[in-house]
Structure 1
Amino acid sequence: MKWLEKRATGKKGEKIGYPTQKPMGLLARIIRASTNEGDVVLDAYCGCGTTVAVAQALKRKWIGIDITYQSISLILKRLEETFGEQELGKVKTDGIPKDMASAIALAKRDDDRLRKEFEKWAVLTYTRNRAVINEKKGADGGIDGRAFFKIGKTDNAKIILQVKSGGVERKDVATLHSDMLPEKAAMAVMITLEKPSKPMLDEARAVGKFRHEDMARDYDTISIVPVIDIVEKGKTLDIPMSLEVVKAAKRANEEKQLDWLLDG
């Protein structure tokens, strides 16, 4: 087991920072030895999705299971970056909110950990898996996630995200505005389970606009996004994220890794 953990980095450039990540070469050897093309590979604790990615590359069908949406998000992003949006569109997911009833059911769970999953789902779904979840224990300072977007050739700007599952009012928008200063955030997003009130929307509009010179476009400095728009209209953050800039390079590296697996 110790040997396996030492080998977890695999080939150079393969490691993505997941604590229990295993090398693609090891999984490729196991899958090749125990299955044929078209067979089904099951990973009941799929974590960062190495088994899933290798099974996809080796033309196996696969089923991945994990209890946290953060892992699911990581796998979806990995599949998109490695195989492209067309293949990602073929992936079927189950057990995550698909409508308002299931979103409300997850948000209103008695278990604090499960309610946190609602926040993760909302942040990662809205940002198309580009945000970083705030994992701080206890009080999170009102910040549930952070995302970054490019400004100019070398600089990044920050967006902070907050999720509210109930009892939200105008003062919460003002508080989010004040939270932007210590975070040095250019923009903020409040995702609400309930429909925002007119005073909330007025408070957000009063903050003004952020001018993105590269995009030649103005964005709301504070946006309020109802969950219903995410689940029923597929609304997502429409500003190019910093991760998009490096996606092509990461995909090229993954393709080299997969070519090595397929040739092995």
Structure 2
Amino acid sequence: RWLSTQDAERLGYPTQKPEGLLERIISASSNEGDVVLDAFCGCGTTVAVAQRLKRKWIGIDITYQSIALVMRRLQDTFKNDPAVMSNITINGIPKDMEAARALAMKKDDRLRKEFEKWAVLTYTDNRAVINEKKGADAGIDGIAYFQTGSSSNAKVVFQVKSGNVGRGDIAKLRGDMQREDAAMAVFLTLQPPSKPMISEAMAVGTFEHDLMGRSYNKIEIVTVQELIEQEKRLDVPMSLEVLKSAQQKAAGDQLSLLDG
């Protein structure tokens, strides 16, 4: 049976295959302990099914966004078996500041965009949706939605900078946050922030999260060094349902751009 638009496993991508199909293919062509290779692993259907069928597997893709989606799917599918995630090795992502700078300083615009994706997805533990609308983002590189305890979800927006930064960047992000009707904004920077930048961010105030019973800075400045060396991550409650809804909307927007 092919996937309907309402299937629980549907992530919103038109090329996504049903798990039942991959289960039949993998079961018929391999045995437990064999290695399954998917060189275009996309939504992660093949690797998720291979893991469930007790196969070893190798998944390859060219963007951090795709790998993040695969990791998120595995985390949600095997959340009751932490050994699954601990046994996964990821190659090709920045693991130190030197590698992060090398990616950020690529001359090719497409490759530099991968630095932005990596920073946003790393900080959100793969829970954000990347803004793919070239030239129309007005400074917004990613969006995530989080639970507040009310009937609706709140939005947090992300901006990534790899070059020189200053107080004006925070002032602009404040305007972007208000325009996007976001509850919070995160400024991810390769360079350390200046004292005026920190003061500008603090002046915006705090967001009171009733569900968590705590306050968050409305604008948070996070350095890439904190991402790598301190493993600093976004600390707000986000459910799989919120993520799927955001991903499906983003996928639909991208398709409408192509159709237009």
Task: Identify which range, 57-66 or 126-135, moves more after superposition.
Answer: 126-135
Contact 2:142 2:159 in 1 (8 A): yes
How far does residue 217 in structure 1 lie from its aligned partner after superposition? 0.8
Could you say which residue in structure 1 is the equivalent of 2:252?
Answer: none
How far does residue 120 in structure 1 lie from its aligned partner after superposition? 0.7
Residue deviations 1:38-74 (CA, integer Å, cap 9, x gap): 0111111111111100100000000000001111010
Residue deviations 1:175-201 (CA, integer Å, cap 9, x gap): 000111111111100000111111111
Q: 1:145 to 1:10 in 2, by over 3 A?
A: closer
How far does residue 153 in structure 1 lie from its aligned partner after superposition? 3.4
Q: 2:119 matched to 1:122?
A: yes
Residue deviations 1:12-32 (CA, integer Å, cap 9, x gap): 433221221112122111111
Contact 1:11 1:23 in 2 (8 A): no
TM-score, normalization by structure 1: 0.87
Could you say which residue in structure 1 is the equivalent of 2:22?
Answer: 27
Structure 1: gaps (5+ residues): 1-5, 248-264
Could you say which residue in structure 2 is the equivalent of 1:151?
Answer: 148
For 1:66 and 1:244, locate their aligned partners in 2 and report how far apart those are by CA, in whole Å. Answer: 23
After superposing on structure 2, the runs of 4+ consecutive aligned residues of structure 1 that deviate more than 4 Å are 8-11, 244-247
Q: 2:10 matched to 1:15?
A: yes
Task: Identify which range, 9-18 or 83-92, moves more after superposition.
Answer: 9-18
How far does residue 156 in structure 1 lie from its aligned partner after superposition? 1.1
Aligned positions of 1:193-208 closer than 5 A: 193-208=190-205
**Residue of 126, 138, 154 corresponding to 2:135:** 138
**Residue of 58, 63, 67 corresponding to 2:58:** 63
How far does residue 139 in structure 1 lie from its aligned partner after superposition? 4.0
TM-score, normalization by structure 2: 0.88
For 1:198 and 1:111, locate their aligned partners in 2 and report how far apart those are by CA, in whole Å. Answer: 32
Aligned positions of 1:1-264 closer than 5 A: 7=2, 9=4, 12-84=7-79, 86=82, 87-241=84-238, 243-244=239-240
Matched residues, number: 241
Contact 1:47 1:66 in 2 (8 A): yes
Structure with the larger helix share:
1
Task: Calculate percent identity across the aligned residue pairs.
Answer: 63
For 2:61 and 2:210, locate their aligned partners in 1 and report how far apart those are by CA, in whole Å. Answer: 41
Contact 1:70 1:121 in 2 (8 A): yes
Structure 2: gaps (5+ residues): 244-260
For 1:198 and 1:154, locate their aligned partners in 2 and report how far apart those are by CA, in whole Å. Answer: 38
Residue deviations 1:160-185 (CA, integer Å, cap 9, x gap): 10000112111000000011111111
For 1:11 and 1:157, locate their aligned partners in 2 and report how far apart those are by CA, in whole Å. Answer: 24
How far does residue 155 in structure 1 lie from its aligned partner after superposition? 1.9
Residue deviations 1:192-225 (CA, integer Å, cap 9, x gap): 0111111111111111111112222111110000
Q: What's the Cα RMSD here? A: 1.8
Contact 1:10 1:24 in 2 (8 A): no
What secondary structure does 1:174 align onto?
helix
For 2:14 and 2:190, locate their aligned partners in 1 and report how far apart those are by CA, in whole Å. Answer: 32
How far does residue 151 in structure 1 lie from its aligned partner after superposition? 1.7
Contact 1:49 1:74 in 2 (8 A): yes
**Greater gyration radius:** 1
Contact 1:10 1:22 in 2 (8 A): no
> Which letter does structure 1 place at the counterpart of 2:212?
M
What secondary structure does 2:2 align onto?
helix
Contact 2:146 2:242 in 1 (8 A): no
